[in-house]
Amino acid sequence: MSFLSTLRQWDQAVACVDQGDVKTALDIFLDIEEKNSKISFNIGCLYLADNNFEAAEKAFDCSIGKDEHLAVAFFQRGITFLKKENFEEALADFSNASRELRGNNLIDYKLLGLRYKLYASEVLHNMALAQAQLGEWNKAQESLLSALNLKPKFRHVDLALEAILKQKLFDLVKMQPGLMFKPKKHHVNAELEQKHYLGKAKVVASVVHKDEFSGFAPLQPQTDDAPTTRKAPEVLRALKGEPHTVLYEFSPETSGELAVLPGNIVFVLNKGDDNWASVIFNERRGLVPYNYLEPLDITGSSKQGQNGTLSGGDEIPAPPFKEPPARPIRHAALSDSPNSVSNEAERSEESPGCIVKVHFLYTVVITAMPGDPYEAMLEKIRNKLNLPASALSLSYVRSGERVTIGESDMTTVWHCMRKGHLTLWCAQSEDPKENPPKIHQALALYSYEASSSEDLEFCQGDVITVLSKVNADWFEGQCKGKIGIFPASFVQSLHKD
């Protein structure tokens, strides 16, 4: 089958999918003799949407076999394995998809013909689900905490983490049905439309006086004042700002910053005292550290000799080999965003250190340096919750039990940090001078029906293990393997002082 026939059938099949005729589309795809990786991927997606998991697995196998770096194919096959309850194979495929992302937060497949963005956080989300299905709850929590640290932020990651902390399963993230790799339109138009290679005949006349030349083109008059040196690139002068060359790769950490690579040419609009520069690159405006840039001479005087040739030969210079300089501290002066002050406050907490997740009435995240004392940790949490430090008590999980943290216990707490993440629980005392009530177990006086995912549901007569006192009206407890909060007035303490 020729490439022209494959292209025509591919385009017809995609059109059938857009019209909702999935059966005809699948028949056309299967009739293609030489299926490339994208066509096999499309077939797998159609089978997966139809719950034909065996056929979908084979199609994704074929797609990955022809393109072993197609991360979205690993992602879809991992979902197929989850549907088949082959959790180990699903975990392996999500790991492969994460590997093919190569440290990026996402891959946009739009340029390849698929209107879909594969996010690293979604891959980690489904990886955590596979780990939870295998009973690896700690690994699942680590995967979700890693996803929580990526941008953009997704609500489903927070919900999944809440479920994992209660050792409950959650929904997987799926690709929207009907999304297909499409052949590029200019290829389709170029191949399917009739071509006129010779074009239409034109009558031309020579501009040379009394020229009798007969051929494809007339003679042209010659000039005597041709330039002897190469002209400087005027296009660079026409752009706004001062041109600079990027020396090091820069990855943005906030929405106001701009991603650039070594060798890119950016145009600096202004430079602040904090060593950050507002630049334009590819018609986008953002912030880049000025010490990552080098002024670019556009006059050509430094690179052209007397005879118009490049000095030192025409060889392309080697990329910089030094490590990039330290990231400067950013002030709000150069930010174009109205939320620059809040973004800066957020960035200061995103500085290198340990990410500490604190469970209170709601969940908050702070950043601390490993080894920080108890007072420093409590002060950061107090500022985040806007509550007096004397009214708060911290605890952590050790050997499956909740343990209250004292001033001398922080060394042990820091040993519980895993891959730069630490989880703590925070409780508020009714009176700062009073210790939290020593309640271990309580009897349910009434049945309580949960109204949100945070609530603990139980029936009258159930025995509840009270984990902590949230405030004067609410407790946090465990019942029938579930953890949540519930009204204190619904239970009676069974603990005898």
Residues 44-62 have pLDDT tens digits of 999 999 999 999 999 999 9
Which stretch of DSSP H or E encloses residue 404? strand 401-404
Cα–Cα distance for residue pair 290/328, rounded to 1 Å: 9
> Which tens digit of pLDDT belongs to each residue from 91-122?
999 999 999 998 899 999 988 889 999 999 99
Instruction: For CA atoms 77, 82, 86, 92, give the dihedral sign.
Output: positive
What letter would DSSP give residue 310? Answer: B
- Report the candidate in 63, 93, 65 with the shortest Cα–Cα distance to residue 78: 93
> Which tens digit of pLDDT belongs to each residue from 218-246?
555 565 555 565 555 544 444 568 899 99
Q: Which residues contact 323 (CB under 8 A, 6 or more apart)?
A: none
- Is residue 400 left, alpha or beta, with left meaning phi > 0 and alpha meaning psi from -120 to 50? left
pLDDT at position 230: 59
- Report the candidate in 179, 178, 41 with the shortest Cα–Cα distance to residue 116: 179
List, in order of start, the domains of the chain with CATH numbers: 3-165 (1.25.40.10), 234-295 (2.30.30.40), 354-428 (3.10.20.90), 441-493 (2.30.30.40)
Q: Which residues contact 436 (CB under 8 A, 6 or more apart)?
A: 393, 427, 429, 468, 469
Question: Among 81-90, 364-373, 425-434, which range has the highest average pLDDT?
Answer: 81-90
- Report the candidate in 162, 151, 157, 152 with the shortest Cα–Cα distance to residue 124: 157
pLDDT at position 27: 93
Cα–Cα distance for residue pair 497/495, rounded to 1 Å: 6
Predicted model pTM: 0.43
Cα–Cα distance for residue pair 240/238, rounded to 1 Å: 7
- Can you point out the beta strands (E) in 177-328? 242-246, 265-271, 276-281, 284-289, 293-295
> Which tens digit of pLDDT belongs to each residue from 269-297?
888 777 889 998 887 888 999 989 999 87
